[in-house]
Amino acid sequence: MRGQRALYYQYWGKAKVNDSGEVAYHLLPYHCLDVVAVADIWWQSSPSIRHSFKVSTRLPEEQARGWLMFFIALHDYGKFDFRFQCKAPEAWRQVNSELSSVNRLLSIDQVRNYYHGSAGLYWFYQDNNERFGQDDDDFCFDDNDEWESWLSWLAPVAGHHGVIPDDYEKGSEDYLLPRAVSEPLREQLKQARLQWLKCLADLFLSPAGLCLDHSPPLFDTTKNGQSAATMLAGFCSVCDWLGSSDFFNYDNQPCANLEKLKLWYQQRLLIAETALKAAGVIGEIKPYQNIDILLKKGNSPRQVQCLVNNLHQGQNLTLIEASTGSGKTEAALAYAWQLLALGQAESIVFALPTQATANAMLKRLEEAAPLLFAQEMNVVLAHGRAGYQQTFIDLKQACESKPAQGKEEAWVQCGLWLSQSRKRVFLGQIGVCTVDQVLVSVLPVKHKFVRGFGIGRSVLIIDEVHAYDSYMYGLLEAVLTQQRLAGGSAILLSATLPFHQKQQLARAWGNSLDDDNTAYPLITQCHANEAEYFDLNKSPEQQPTKLEIQLDLLKLPHLLPDHILLKRLLQAVVDGAQVCLVCNLVADAQAIYQTLLEQVQSAENLTADQILLFHSRFTFKDRQQKEQAVLNLFGAEPQPKEVRNKGHLLVATQVVEQSLDLDFDWLVTQLCPVDLLFQRMGRLHRHKRNRPNRYQSPCCTVLLPKSDDYELHELIYGNSRVLWRTQQLLQKAKNIVCFPKAYRDWIEPVYKIEEWQDEPETIIKSFEKFEQESEASRYNALRIVRDNPGLDDSDGNVMALTRDGEMSLSILPCYRNQQGYKCLLNEDVIETLEEAKYFETLNLNSVAVPASWGKYERLDKPDKEGVIWLEMEQIAIEHFLGVVGDYEFTYQPETGLSRREISEENV
C-alpha cells in the first residue's frame, strides 16, 4: 500500500475510448458503488422490492438491505485480477503503472478468455479458504453449510452478465493465475480484495448490526433448482446496466479514507435517482379507489367485478373463472391495483396466448395506465411498437459505444439484450406480452433472471390460461413457483378450467383445492397454505344473464364447408350479416378464402373487400394491419360506424377465439375442444346492436366429421377423445347450448380422466397415447428448467423452447433486390442493418410455422438467432415465391405465408 491509499484503488472497473481516441477509466470501487447506489435508491422507492427481499431472506428490513447492498457491491469481485485489468492495457497502465507490466506474463488467450463473473466466486472462496474450505487449494465445498449460504448470494451477483454459475469446481483450474505470476503479486491481489471486503462491511453491514463473521441466510431453493435468488440476479443486472450508463461520470481520484468515501457515495445516490427516473423503471402508484373508474362511463361493476374488494390483501395466486365478456380483465386490473397500492408490487405484466390478443390488450391497458400510475409511465408491448423511455430505447448508442474492455461492458449488454425485441416489457410499469415471454423466465437462456426479476416485481396476469398444452403447463408450474418464492402474486384468467388443471396450478403455488365448489362464476385464491373461494351466492342479482345459443350441426368430409354452405355464407353477407368461419388449420383457412374470392368475382352483389382472411402466419406489419381491419369491422366500436351497414365474412383461425372483443351475427366453426368452442361462441352477439333479419338470435354452426376419424385436427389438439366427447355433447344438446350452465356441465365431463361407458376403442387408445406423451412433455419442460446451458435469448430460441408443438419454427422470408442484395420483405437490406436494430427487425419480419415444416421440407437449419431463412423471388408487387424441395412457398400481404406440395402434374 502506498501511503494511506487502499489497495483496491489500484484497479479500474470501467474504461472507454473517448471521441479524441484517449482511454478514460473509472476506478473499480467507484463503479461497484455506482451500482449499489442504483440498488439503494430503488430499494428506498419501492416497497415491493423491500417486501420481496424481506420474504426471501426472512430478515428484518435493515438487515435484508445490509446484505443486499453488500453482495451487489461484490458483483465485480472477479475484476480484481490481472487478466481482467489487461483487457484495457492503457487504462491498466494509467491506474497502476507499477503493476501494469504484469501483462507481459499473460498470453492473449488468457486475457481474452477470462470471465470475471464466475472467477469472482473462485477468488472469494480462495480468499476465505480457511473459513470455507480445506487446508489445500481445492475449490471444494461439499457438506459446507456456511459456504452454501454465501454461495446462494454470490452466485446470482456473479452471474450478472447472463448466466448464473452452477458448476464451480469443474472449471476451477481455468481461474488459476499463470505460474509466471509471482507469489508477491498474487498476495497483492488478495490483499486488495480483502481490503475491499472490509470496506464494504463497514459501509453496509455494520450499520445493520452485521459483520463479516456473520453468514447471510440461505435463499430458498426448490427441487427444480429455482430460487428466490432469481430476484437478486435480475435486480443486480439491471442496477449494473444503469450504474454503467452515461449518467455516472468517471472518477479516477481515490478517496483519502472511509469517511470521504461515504460522502462520495452520498453524491452518487443523487445521480442514481436521476438515472432511475430517466430510465422509467420506477413509477408513482396512485392510491386505490375502486373498480368503477376502470369501467366505461356509466357502467357499474357486475358479476366477478363485484367481488374484487373482498379478496385477500397479500401475496397469493388468484384464479378468476367467468364467462367470455364478463369483465375479467377489469377485475384483474382492479385487484392488481390494490396490490400495487399496498406495496406488494410495482408493475403489471399481462401475458396472453397470441400476438393478436396482446395487441388488442395493449390499447385497453394504455387507457387504464394513467388511472393506476401518476406522471409518466411505460406501457410496453412485447413485440415492439410501443413507447419506452429514451434512456432504454436509444439502443443504437448503447450497442455502438466503445468500451475498452469489449462487449463485457454492462451498458452494451443492456442494449443488445433489449434490442432483441421482446425484453423491454419486463422493465416498464405495465408490460403486455405473449405467454412465451413469461415462460422463458424459467428456461436456460442468458439473462433469464432479468425476466424473472421483472415478473417477480410485478403482479403477473395470464389470460386464457386454459389455452396451453402439457408442456407449457409444465413451464407455467415453474413460473408460478418462481413467482411465489420471489414474494410476488399471480392472477390467472379463464372462462373455466377442469378441476384437475386448477389443482395442478394450485400445487405449483404450494396449495391444494377442494373439488366440491362448483359455483360459477368463481374466484379461487391460494395463500398461506390455504385456499379461499369467492362466488356470487350472496349477490344473485349479479349472476350472468342466461344466454341460449342455437346449434346447427353439419357432418362434412374433412370438416370443410361444401358448396351449399359456401353459398349460405355468401348469401348471409349479401343479407348484411357479419359472419365468421373459424378453421383449426391455417391451410384450410387460406384455401377456403381463395375459393370464396373466386366465387365473389362472379357474384353481382358482393365485392372482394367484404371477404377477409386472418390467421397467425403473417409478418408483424401485415398482421397488425389485418388485426386493425378485423377490429374496425367486427369490434365493439366499428370504425367508421356505418361499416356494418353491409355484410362481411371473416375466415379465421384460433386467433379470434381468445381475448379479442369481436362481435358476429353468425358463427361457423370446425369442431374443436369444448372450452375453445365456448370461447368461439363468446364472439356471438357480444354487444347490443341491431341485427339483420334471420340473425337476431345467436346461432353457431359446427362442422363435424362423418366418422370418428378426426384427421389432422386430432394432431392439433393432441388426441381425439376431447373432440369425440365434445361431439357427443353437441349431438345430445337438442340444438341449444345454455350459458353459463354449460361451462360446468360440459367442460368437466369432457376433461375428466375416467372413461365414458360408450367410448370407442380407438378413442381410448388415442387418449392413452396422448396421456403418456403429455406426462413426458411436462417432465421434459421441468427437465429443461433445471438445465443451465446459457442459450442465446433470441426470439427464435424462445419460440422453440416454450412450445412443444404447433408454432415452433420461425421462418424469415427474404429475396434479392435488383442490385443483388439480400432483403427482407419490408425491403430492408440485411447487410446494412445496424446491430442495435438487427434482432428487432428479424423478429418483425419472421413468420411462425408448425414444427412439422422442418421435418419434411428441405428447409435450412435455424441460425444462431433461431430463425430459418427462406429465400424467395419477387414475382409481382408484394408477391413472393420460393421453392424448397417438393414444396412451393408463397407470401402475399393478403394471404400470408402459404405452402403447397408440387405434384408431378405441375412440374
Does 555 lie in the same domain as 531?
Answer: no
Does 579 lie in the same domain as 437?
Answer: no
CB 826 within 8 A of CB 621: yes
Does 355 lie in the same domain as 321?
Answer: yes
- Considering only the C-alpha atoms of the chain, give the largest distance between any 2 of them, rounded to a whole number of Å: 97
The radius of gyration computed from the CA coordinates of the chain, to the nearest angstrom, equals 30
For residue 876, with 0-12 CB atoms within 10 Å meaning exposed, 13-18 middle and 19 or more buried, which class applies? exposed
Cis peptide before 893 (omega within 30 of 0): no
Q: 358 in a domain, yes or no?
A: yes
Whole-angstrom Cα distance, residue 68 to residue 84?
25
Neighbouring C-alpha atoms within 13 Å toward the C-beta of 101:
4
Does 319 lie in the same domain as 177?
Answer: no
Whole-angstrom Cα distance, residue 91 to residue 192?
18
Domain boundary among 709, 739, 769: 739
Which CATH number goes with the domain that contains 718? 3.40.50.300
CB 787 within 8 A of CB 778: no
pLDDT at residue number 386: 40
Q: 284 in a domain, yes or no?
A: no
> Shortest CA distance to 561 belongs to which of 589, 532, 540?
589
Rounded to the nearest angstrom, the gap between the alpha carbon of residue 277 and the centroid of all alpha carbons in its chain is: 24
Phi-psi region of 211 (alpha: psi -120 to 50; beta: other; left: phi over 0): beta
Does 367 lie in the same domain as 227?
Answer: no
Parallel, antiparallel, or unpaired: how do β-strands 868-876 and 809-816 relate? parallel
Q: Which residues in the chain land under pLDDT 70?
A: 1-4, 134-143, 160, 162, 166-174, 220-228, 375-378, 380-424, 659, 778, 780-808, 835-836, 855-857, 903-907
Q: What is the DSSP string of 341-379?
A: HTTS-SEEEEEESSHHHHHHHHHHHHHHHHHHEESS--E
Whole-angstrom Cα distance, residue 427 to residue 280?
8
- Under DSSP, the state recorded for 833 is -
Whole-angstrom Cα distance, residue 885 to residue 207?
70
Parallel, antiparallel, or unpaired: how do β-strands 896-901 and 887-892 relate? antiparallel
User: Cell numbers 433472471 label which residue?
Assistant: 449
Parallel, antiparallel, or unpaired: how do β-strands 284-285 and 373-374 relate? antiparallel
Whole-angstrom Cα distance, residue 78 to residue 196?
12
| Residues near 44 by beta carbon (within 8 Å), at least 6 away in sequence | none
Polymer length in residues for the chain: 907
Parallel, antiparallel, or unpaired: how do β-strands 648-652 and 666-670 relate? unpaired
User: Cell numbers 445496424 label which residue?
Assistant: 834
Whole-angstrom Cα distance, residue 78 to residue 73?
12
Does 330 lie in the same domain as 216?
Answer: no
Fill in the amino acid letter for 433.
Answer: C
Does 146 lie in the same domain as 107?
Answer: yes
Q: 474 in a domain, yes or no?
A: yes
User: Cell numbers 367442460 label which residue?
Assistant: 747
Q: 389 in a domain, yes or no?
A: no
| pTM of the model as a whole | 0.84
| Residues near 742 by beta carbon (within 8 Å), at least 6 away in sequence | 678
Whole-angstrom Cα distance, residue 34 to residue 504?
44
Q: 867 in a domain, yes or no?
A: yes
Which CATH number goes with the domain that contains 249? 1.10.3210.30
Phi-psi region of 327 (alpha: psi -120 to 50; beta: other; left: phi over 0): left
Does 530 lie in the same domain as 556?
Answer: no
774's grid cell: 403429455
Torsion over CA: 326, 506, 55, 235 (sign): negative
Q: What is the DSSP string of 79-141?
A: GSSHHHHTTSHHHHHHH-TTTGGGGGGS-HHHHHT--HHHHHHHHHHHHTHHHHS-SS-----
| Residues near 278 by beta carbon (within 8 Å), at least 6 away in sequence | 247, 389, 390, 391
Does 174 lie in the same domain as 254?
Answer: yes
> Shortest CA distance to 85 belongs to which of 74, 72, 75, 97?
97
pLDDT at residue number 469: 73
Domain count, the chain: 4
Does 527 lie in the same domain as 552?
Answer: no
Whole-angstrom Cα distance, residue 563 to residue 559?
13
pLDDT at residue number 393: 46
> Shortest CA distance to 621 belongs to which of 432, 425, 828?
828
> Shortest CA distance to 196 belongs to which of 272, 103, 128, 134?
128
* Beta pairing partners, 25: 15
CB 501 within 8 A of CB 675: no
Domain boundary among 739, 757, 791: 739
Cβ-count burial 239-273 (b if 16+ within 10 Å, e if not): bbbbbbbebbebbeebbeeeeebeebbeebbebbb
- Under DSSP, the state recorded for 829 is B
Q: 408 in a domain, yes or no?
A: no
Domain boundary among 697, 721, 739: 739
Does 704 lie in the same domain as 684?
Answer: yes
Q: 212 in a domain, yes or no?
A: yes
What CA dihedral angle connects 553, 556, 559 and 563, to 10 degrees? -100
CB 519 within 8 A of CB 535: yes
CB 469 within 8 A of CB 777: yes
Segment holding 526, helix H or strand E: strand 522-527
Q: 391 in a domain, yes or no?
A: no
Does 598 lie in the same domain as 521?
Answer: no
Domain membership of residue 899 as a residue range: 808-906
